């Protein structure tokens, strides 16, 4: 766990986000506050269109708030240029998008190598080739898809693709995983296996997980549940 005085890994402070301009402006987030610390597994629940993906995109520095501030590791991010934002993403964050983002012309293993290549290109310390092979095998077997390493995404089921994308999100050992509905294509059993594994990573390696999901089973695995409605965050439960 985090030292009590360490800053949160992620902080949203009075975040507002609107889309559109003038009379057609639609406010999606209306003053959202949320801190996420190492080892926390935060589930973000909320109806379709409530702004869950919007919030994850802001935490991932993929979009900017209309008002308010996103801090990463205690540091404000508003003034950063695109290069600095990209370095922060590569160094600290793992992403799992709502819609499949595997590169179709590359094998599962090659897809896992992409974030490592990007980190290397940015001069960020990351896995060497040998370590990559071992880590990739370990992560893929964690999600039960090691035997699929050399397949193309088109040769996988939807659920297998999701688990491959999840493996890729973890390969650079991020301190925070931003996961948008990662179990949407999984049956109940496999969804719970993914939740369980992420909970274990949170407990054992202090990974912070922020997961948007509609899956009710999350309640048993998340350490904290918040709900998003009418542009506001409400704490639902904390189990520790
Ligand atoms: N780039 C955009 N431009 C305009 N409106 C947008 C944009 N992105 C999202 N929205 C709108 O903002 C609202 C929130 O979208 P968001 O994707 O965050 O919802 P969500 O909670 O993730 O929903 P779901 O559960 O369906 O994934 C929606 O009404 C959506 O249409
Ligand atoms: Mg969404």
Contact 122, 86 (CB under 8 A): yes
**Residue with CA nearest ligand 1 atom 8:** 54
Dihedral sign, CA of 128, 132, 138, 142? positive
Q: Using CA atoms, how far apart are residues 66 and 45, in angstroms rounded to an integer?
A: 22
**Residue with CA nearest ligand 1 atom 7:** 19
**Residue with CA nearest ligand 1 atom 30:** 49
Q: How far is the CA of 61 from the centre of ligand 1 (A)?
A: 16
pLDDT of residue 158: 86
Ligand 1 site residues (CB inside 6 A) read 19, 28, 46, 48-54, 98, 212
pLDDT of residue 5: 72
Give the domain ranges of the chain.
10-238
Q: How far is the CA of 29 from the centre of ligand 2 (A)?
A: 13
pLDDT tens per residue across all 240 residues of the chain: 555 678 899 999 999 999 998 889 999 999 999 999 999 999 999 999 999 999 999 999 999 999 999 999 999 999 999 999 999 999 999 999 877 789 999 999 999 999 999 999 999 989 999 999 999 999 999 999 999 999 999 999 988 998 999 999 999 999 999 999 988 888 898 889 889 989 999 999 899 999 999 888 898 899 999 999 999 999 887 775
Residue among 25, 26, 51, 182 whose CB has most ligand 1 atoms within 8 A, to mutate: 51
Task: State the Cα angle at 219 between 214 and 224, rounded to 5°.
Answer: 100
Alpha carbon distances (Å) from 56 to 51, 134, 177, 179, 229: 9, 30, 10, 8, 15
pLDDT of residue 2: 52
**Residue with CA nearest ligand 1 atom 19:** 49
Q: Using CA atoms, how far apart are residues 94 and 182, in angstroms rounded to an integer?
A: 13
Question: Which residues on neighbouring strands pair with residue 210, listed in sequence order?
Answer: 42, 178
Tell me yes or no: is domain 10-238 CATH 3.20.20.70. Answer: no
């Amino acid at each position: 766990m985090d030292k009590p005085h360490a800053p949160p890994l992620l902080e949203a402070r009075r975040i507002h986000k609107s889309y559109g301009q003038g009379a057609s402006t639609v406010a999606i987030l209306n003053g959202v506050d949320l801190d996420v610390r190492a080892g926390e597994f935060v589930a973000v629940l909320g109806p379709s269109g409530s702004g869950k993906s919007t919030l994850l995109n802001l935490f991932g520095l993929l979009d900017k708030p209309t008002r308010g501030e996103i801090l990463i590791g205690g540091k404000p991010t508003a003034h950063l240029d695109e290069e600095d934002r990209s370095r922060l993403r590569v160094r600290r964050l793992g992403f799992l998008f709502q819609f499949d983002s595997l590169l179709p012309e590359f094998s599962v293993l090659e897809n896992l190598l992409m974030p490592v290549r990007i980190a290397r290109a940015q001069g960020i310390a990351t896995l060497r080739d040998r370590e990559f092979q071992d880590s990739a095998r370990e992560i893929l077997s964690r999600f039960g898809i090691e035997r699929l390493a050399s397949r193309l995404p088109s040769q996988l089921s939807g659920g297998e693709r999701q688990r491959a994308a999840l493996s890729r999100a973890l390969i650079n050992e991020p301190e925070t995983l931003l996961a948008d509905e990662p179990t949407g294509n999984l049956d109940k059993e496999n969804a719970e296996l993914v939740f369980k594994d992420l909970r274990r990573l949170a407990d054992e390696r202090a990974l912070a997980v922020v997961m948007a999901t509609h899956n009710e089973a999350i309640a048993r695995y998340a350490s904290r549940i918040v709900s998003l409605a009418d542009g506001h965050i409400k704490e639902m439960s904390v189990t520790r």
